[in-house]
Amino acid sequence: MADEMKKTKEEKVNSLLTVCEASQEMIEKAKADGVSLIFDRAEAMKPCPIGVEGSCCRTCAMGPCRLPAPKKKAEGEEKKRVGVCGATIETITARNFVRMIAGGSASHSDHGRGVAEVFLLAAKGEIPGYGVKDVPKLLQLALDFGIDIEDMEIEEIAIKVGELAGAEWGKQEGGLVMMKRAPLKRQEIWRKYDLIPRGIDREIVELMHRTHMGVDQDYKNLIAQGSRAALADGWGGSMLATELQDILFGTPVPIKGSINLGVLKEDEINIIVHGHDPLLSEMVVVATQEPDMIAFAKSKGAKGINLAGMCCTANEILMRHGIPIAGNFLQQELAIVTGVIDAMVVDVQCEMQSIHDVAQCYHTEIITTSPKAKISGARHIQFEEHNPLETAKEIVRAAIENFPKRTSKIKIPGQKCDTVVGFAHETINYLLGGMFRASYKPLNDNIIGGRIRGIAGVVGCNNARTVHDQAHLTLIKELIKNDVIVLSTGCSAMACGKAGLLLPEAAAQYAGSGLAEVCEAVGIPPVLHMGSCVDNSRILIAATAVVKEGGLGDDISDLPAAGCAPEWMSEKAVAIGQYFVASGVYTIFGTTFPTVGCDVLTEYLFKGLEQEVGGMWDFATDPIEMAKKMITHIDKKRKALGIDKARERVLYDMAMRRELEAV
Ligand code: SF4
Ligand code: MSK
């Protein structure tokens, strides 16, 4: 007890599993209900120390070859570490790293391919309920693809766009069309280092070939292929997914929502849509509002149907329809522990297999919907792309039928928080410049003038090896306190939402005076929710728009900007990190870094890449240190642009103002 009293506030927080109070409550409830959670498994099973640093090769059956970093290197005479085949530690670590990029790029891009296929069917009028919602965006994309739109009907344009966009996956040469959206200097850099992806699938397949036993055994050459595959994701598969989803379902505009487990309702049917793909969940939104479904729910004794989201599917439907979010990655089991989830409907990515086991302890029905993502023992209702509304209604019916089976083990945490979300690049443009002069100029002017110190993209997952949401929130609060505006996606954006950072009022409470002034004038939060994981491509486009607006250099690498994934865990995060680095962005990861077993490779990723592509990786586990490193980079870029003095003046003015206030 005395020891407990002596603990600092920080130590007390660190002994927690999460800083989210609703999650704490459900972790306690799970304990009482005898349910095993990810937190328990993470405690019981520590990560392999050799695997965690990237020093284990299991590429062939002569291995696995384990090459841990020596504990104490005798000065100047570290023994050369090689596998059975002679592969060096540089080759092995680089292989492991770029294979993570392949996995991540494949996931985003295969999601994008599915969207492109459905888009084409919808353009041909073959999917009832789906059509073109954002015509200007369709026309812009048509121009990107070089389509002569004069004299063409919207339907014809949509078909042509669908065909050309879909062809980007199987393209063999010529470069991806969307790369041309980047600043010209960026394109020159990519050409100089031969990094322009030839086709989305091609770069991922080639990466897998090169990392087979006995193929590419030059770590820099492997990282270059990693960049091609990652760029094929960021400026290809992900960007096309975002663009086509916006055209089909509407480009997000600011909308109010609410987030956390408190959005669940005891007296209604609760359906959670979880995963990443909005193709089906868009129709689940419609199905839950159909009068016959509501009547059916009432016939079972429920007051109505409450739809909520989880992970990035949640971001998609929150941004377009204001559907509430139940939580982020580490809350998927906890939502079921409330005892009120009648169906959890999953599509693809970030769905833990354990949700099926947790559901066994309550009444929840886990429903898989993608032929690519089944869970043993779970019910499968396949997404029928020619009639998604029918699939959606079947799912809603199943949830309603499950409602009477609820057990008595029910408890819904009270916590939920309002949010304002939906800041697509177009929205930022409009909000800053107004309808008739939409532009990034006010943003650039405020950066140049020093009110806004810089821009940070903070994205990515939760990780059961760190305190849930803590690094996201500590880092982001530190950034906005220092006048850095934050663009956020994925689970990071949800952590912000739960902590009230996605509200305009948060500017006055948390932001530095310069950033707060701008947020208050425009009416925006200091953290802008830009969507799901594939929507990180929106950040690339926003960065490009800032460059094109002028006054802040002529490439993304010139901007006072930085990226971070403080609680990352998925391969997709590594792909995102690499496409940001290869696009010129300083990018820092928390938790762990998968190459730390090899100093030479890590040095190349952290320093060498900057000489080539202008961006580089970095790593820190302490969120305050992460923020400091990002701000140091931002200040370095401000100095290079010659705008550091403007900020000093602003700071001086502020200090004077505070002094005056104190008198
Ligand atoms: Fe070992 Fe070489 Fe096989 Fe890798 S490829 S497991 S280093 S023998
Ligand atoms: S859902 S990839 S845990 S952000 Fe996109 Fe969250 Fe990471 Fe999945």
pLDDT tens for each residue of 512-526: 999 999 999 989 999
Lowest mean pLDDT among 50-64, 328-342, 423-437, 540-554: 423-437
For residue 88, which ligand has an atom nearest its CA? 1
- From the alpha carbon of 276, which atom of ligand 2 is closest? 5
H/E element, 573: helix 571-582
Distance 311 CA to ligand 2 centre (A): 6
Same domain, 220 and 262: no
Asked whether residue 463 falls in the same domain as residue 380, the answer is no
* Residue finishing a domain among 377, 405, 433: 405
Q: Does residue 313 sit in the same domain as residue 388?
A: yes
> Residues 577-585: what's their mean pLDDT?
98
Q: For the residues of 493-519, what is the DSSP string, one character each?
A: HHHHHHTTTTSTTHHHHHS-HHHHHHH
Angle at 460 between CA 376 and CA 247, to 5 degrees: 85
Distance set, CA 518 to CA 527, 592, 647, 655 (Å)? 12, 35, 14, 18
Beta bridge partners of 270: 306, 341
499: in domain? yes
Answer yes or no: do 366 and 498 share one domain. Answer: no
Mean pLDDT of all residues belonging to the chain:
93
| Count of beta carbons in the 10 Å neighbourhood of residue 124 | 12
72 falls within a domain: no
How far is Cα 280 from Cα 387, in angstroms, rounded to an integer?
10
pLDDT, tens digit (0-9, with 9 covering 90-100), for 450-463: 999 999 999 999 99
What value does the mean pLDDT take over residues 55-59? 97
Per-residue model confidence (pLDDT) at position 73 = 59
Residue 368 pLDDT class (50, 70, 90 cuts): very high
Domain-terminating residue out of 207, 232, 249: 249
pLDDT given for residue 606 in this prediction = 98
Give the per-residue pLDDT at 156.
97
Say what the pLDDT of residue 658 is: 52
Say how many C-beta atoms besides its own lie within 10 A of residue 408's C-beta: 5
Please list every protein residue whose CB sits less than 6 Å from any atom of ligand 1.
Answer: 57-60, 62-65, 83-85, 87, 92, 213
Cα–Cα dist 168/658, whole Å: 55
Q: For residues 440, 534, 235 and 561, what is the CA-based torsion angle, rounded to 10 degrees?
A: 40
- pLDDT category of residue 71 using cuts at 50, 70 and 90: confident
Residue 385: pLDDT above 90?
no
In a domain, 649, yes or no: no
pLDDT tops 80 at residue 653: no
pLDDT at 431: 79
pLDDT at res. 429 = 81
Quick one: which ligand is closest to 591's CA? 2
The bound ligand whose nearest atom lies closest to the alpha carbon of 60 is: 1
On whether both 244 and 336 belong to a single domain, the answer is no
Could you tell me if residue 543 is inside a domain?
A: yes
Is 161 in contact with 174 (CB distance < 8 Å)? Answer: no
Cα distance between residue 547 and residue 538, in whole Å: 14
Residue entry with tokens 């055994």: 217
Q: How confident is the model at residue 662 (pLDDT cuts 50, 70, 90)?
A: very low
Secondary structure percentages of the chain, helix, strand, coil, to 5: 55, 10, 35
- Stretch 462-477: mean pLDDT: 97
8 Å CB contact between 323 and 426: no
Quote the CA–CA distance of 107 and 238 in Å, as a whole number. Answer: 9
The answer to whether residue 117 scores a pLDDT higher than 70 is yes
Residue 281 has pLDDT above 80, yes or no: yes
Ligand 2 centroid from CA 275, angstroms: 8
Domain of residue 146: give its range. Answer: 89-249
User: In this structure, are residues 208 and 241 in contact, taking their beta carbons and an 8 Å threshold?
Assistant: no
Distances (CA, A) of 462 to 429, 439, 524: 30, 34, 26
Ligand 2 centroid vs 490 CA: distance in angstroms? 5
For position 13, what pLDDT does the model report? 46
Closest to 287 (Cα-Cα) out of 402, 404, 387 = 387
> Is the pLDDT reported for residue 127 higher than 60?
yes
The DSSP bridge pattern shows strands 269-275 and 305-310 to be parallel
**Ligand 2 pocket test target in 276, 281, 310, 311 with most atoms within 8 Å of CB:** 311
- Asked whether residue 177 carries a pLDDT value surpassing 60, the answer given is yes
For residue 17, is it within any domain? no
Model confidence band, residue 182 (pLDDT cutoffs 50, 70, 90): very high
Residue 245 maps to which CATH number?
A: 1.20.1270.30
Q: How far apart are CA 558 and CA 561, in angstroms?
A: 8
Instruction: Of 332, 336, 314, 355, give the one whose Cα is nearest residue 270.
Output: 336
Give me the half-sphere count of Cα atoms (radius 13 Å) on the Cβ side of residue 367. Answer: 27
Alpha helices in 387-451 (DSSP H): 388-402, 425-433, 441-449
Sign of the Cα pseudo-torsion (151, 157, 163, 166, in order):
positive
Q: How far apart are CA 145 and CA 381, in angstroms?
A: 36
Burial of 60 from C-beta contacts in 10 A (0-12 / 13-18 / 19+): middle
Pair (503, 568) in one structural domain? yes
Task: Note the pLDDT of residue 70.
Answer: 82
Residue 84 lies in a domain: no
CATH number for 577: 3.40.50.2030
User: Does the beta carbon of 493 sit less than 6 angstroms from any atom of ligand 2?
Assistant: no
Mean pLDDT is lowest, of 206-220, 435-449, 533-547, for 435-449
| Shared domain check, 627 and 512 | yes
Confirm or reject: Cβ of 461 under 6 Å from ligand 2.
yes
Spell out the residues 6+ positions from residue 239 whose beta carbon is closer than 8 angstroms to its own: 178, 181, 537, 540, 541
Our mutation pick for probing the ligand 2 site, out of 312, 538, 564, counting the most ligand atoms within 8 A of Cβ, is: 312
Q: Which atom of ligand 2 lies closest to the CA of 349? A: 8
Distance CA 105, CA 11 (A): 37
Residues 120, 232 within the same domain: yes
Given a cut of 80, whether residue 447 has pLDDT beyond it is yes
> How far does Cα 255 stand from its chain's mean position?
19
Say whether both 209 and 228 belong to one domain. Answer: yes
Model pTM greater than 0.85?
Answer: yes
Q: What is the largest CA-CA distance in the chain?
A: 80
Final residue in a domain of this structure, among 372, 405, 438: 405
The answer to whether the peptide bond before residue 64 is cis (omega within 30 degrees of 0) is: yes
Regarding whether 532 and 492 lie in a shared domain, the answer is: yes
Answer for the pair 604, 613: CB distance below 8 angstroms, yes or no: no
Q: Which residues pair with 561 in a beta bridge?
A: 455
Q: Are residues 276 and 200 in the same domain?
A: no
pLDDT of residue 15: 61
- What is the token pair recorded at 220? 């820099």
pLDDT tens digit sequence for 213-247: 999 999 999 999 999 999 999 999 999 999 999 99
The answer to whether position 324 is within a domain reads yes
On whether residue 187 sits in a domain, the answer given is yes
How many structural domains does the chain have? 3
* pLDDT at residue 2 greater than cutoff 80: no
Q: In terms of domains, do 296 and 382 share one?
A: yes
